[in-house]
Homo-oligomer: A and B are copies of this chain.
């Protein structure tokens, strides 16, 4: 129930980020909905395709379609007020990537993959919806250019597999990993930390 609530809040935050990018590109109603949809479910879809878990997750549960549809309608109606929710949206998004990272990792473990591949799947689940959103909107994906985003997912995944080696319950490792993702992401944004630049240095 708690996870479900986070999942829905994360889906809403992702969908709204899709609506914002799509409206900047002046897409029509259908385009805005599709971009919101792929932002919200694209990462999980790619994950499911890579491990062969089909039909992909969103096809087996209509909740997502209706949540995203409602979010799009809401976001378009109140688009002039979305800026007042920026902090809440950031929080939902951040909690969302924390949860999605772990959902992806669990799916990888379920498919019998080794830890490094599970971490890759977790990162894909959490961050590739945004990659597909940016490609469909004809932009170089923002997570390839700046900000600690996918990096937070990777570090959270590493933390999870380290914690699992300790004699603690799996649930604690799971929750701790989510908190690591959220913590790193928030610290990176608050202190404007980026990956070390590889251009014109020294």
Instruction: Find out whether the CB atom of B145 lies under 8 angstroms from the CB atom of A55.
Output: no
Number of copies: 3
Residue of B nearest to A197 (CB): B28
Sort A-B residue pairs by CB-CB distance and give the 8 closest, nearest first.
A52-B54, A31-B144, A29-B195, A27-B144, A59-B117, A51-B55, A138-B140, A28-B195
Residue numbers of A with Cβ under 8 A of B are 22-23, 25-32, 34-35, 45, 49-52, 54-56, 59-60, 62, 65, 76, 111, 113-114, 116-117, 120-121, 131, 135-141, 143-146, 150-151, 194-199
Q: A32 vs B202: C-alpha distance in the bound complex, in angstroms?
A: 19
Instruction: Find out whether the CB atom of A29 lies under 8 angstroms from the CB atom of B196.
Output: yes
Residue of B nearest to A154 (CB): B30
Interface pairs (17), CB distance under 8 Å? A27-B140, A27-B144, A28-B194, A28-B197, A28-B198, A30-B143, A30-B151, A35-B144, A49-B54, A51-B59, A55-B113, A59-B117, A136-B141, A137-B140, A138-B138, A138-B139, A138-B140
